[in-house]
Structure 1
Amino acid sequence: MTNELVELIVTGQIPEGGLLPPEGPLSEHFGVSRTVIRESVKRLEEKGLIVVTQGRGTQVARSGSWNMLDLSILSALIENDDSLSILDELTIVRGSLESAMAGAVAARHTKEELSRIEHVLDGMREMRQESDAFRQEDVVFHFTVMEISGNRLAENITKRLYRRALESNRYHGLGYEGAFESTLEEHGRVVDAIARHDVAGAEREMRDHIVKSWHRRRPAAPQEDAP
Structure 2
Amino acid sequence: MAGRRAEGTDGPAPGLGARQSIAASGPFAHQAHTAFWAGDFTALDELLSTAPALVGPGPWPDEIAAQVVFQRSLGAVLASLRGNRDDAERGFFDALALRGGQPVDEARVIAYSLRAAFASDGEPERALDDVGRARQLSSAVGNSELAAVASIGEGWALSELGQLEEAASVLQDATENLPDSLGRSVAQLRLAEVELMMGDRASARSSVDTAREAFLKAEARYWG
User: Which range, TM-score by smaller chain?
Assistant: under 0.3
> As a proportion of its length, which structure holds more helix?
2
| Higher radius of gyration, 1 or 2 | 1
* TM-score with structure 1 setting the length: 0.27
